[in-house]
Amino acid sequence: MVAQKYNFPITASGKVSQAFLERGMHDFASAVEYIRDVPYGRNTDKLNLLTVFTDGCATCSTKHGLLKFLADENASQHPPGPLQRGNPDVQLILCLFKMDGENTRSVKNILERTGLPYMPEAHNYLRVNGEILDVMKKNWSITMFPETILEEHEIMPEQITDYKVAYHKAFLQNWLNQHPEIKYNLEELFTIREECIKALY
């Protein structure tokens, strides 16, 4: 497992580190296990990553944003190495992938009804020393469907809100422009996307 392979102790005094320590987690691997088990659901305030604890739910954005923040807080606690703050070995990744009835069965009926082959969906995960760490759900990871990834790039935790939505919508508009056979405008397509997301709960 990636988290165990690159495990490190939680020793920082930052608010995220303290939140994990207060809940009995003393290293990165145990924090990852805890976050993986948090049910999928939207948070009340995505800018405050600690709402993952108070809401009792999280999305791919808040789960991985929180773990990235944890890694950054603890990077300065260790000698020079792969987990230094700012080192790209611990990256928060934004990708676009083909969400379809095969990799996400709960959206299959929606896509069939709307006639869409797939929904280009924005997804977050971590790359630790170049290896994907995806904890959105216990039995689901983008590593199970690498061929569906359309593009990816690194972002920072504060970019999981407005930036992510704007980037996603720009991608969708470009996708519509390239596929004139799809008879939806951007607003209609994003409404279908929202229906798909609700089906994940």
Amino acid (one-letter) located at 97 = F
pLDDT at 89: 82
Choose among 164, 156, 146: nearest CA to 97. Answer: 146
Average pLDDT over residues 69-74: 93
Q: What is the pLDDT of residue 66?
A: 97
pLDDT in tens, 34-50: 999 999 999 999 999 99
Question: What is the model's pLDDT at position 76?
Answer: 66
Look at residue 84 in the predicted model and tell me its pLDDT: 46
Domain spans in the chain, listed from the N-terminal domain onward: 2-75, 90-198
For residue range 148-168, list pLDDT tens digits in order.
999 999 999 999 999 999 999
Measuring CA to CA, how many Å separate 120 from each of 12, 128, 142? 38, 24, 14
pLDDT on residue 90: 85
Mean pLDDT of 119-142: 94
Please check the confidence at residue 85 and state whether its pLDDT lies above 50. no
Lookup result for tokens 């020079």: 80
Listed residue (172, 184, 87) closest to 121, CA to CA: 172
Give the separation between CA 109 and CA 100, rounded to whole angstroms. Answer: 10
Predicted TM-score of the model (pTM)? 0.91
Can you say how many angstroms the Cα of residue 47 is from the centroid of all Cα atoms in its chain? 14
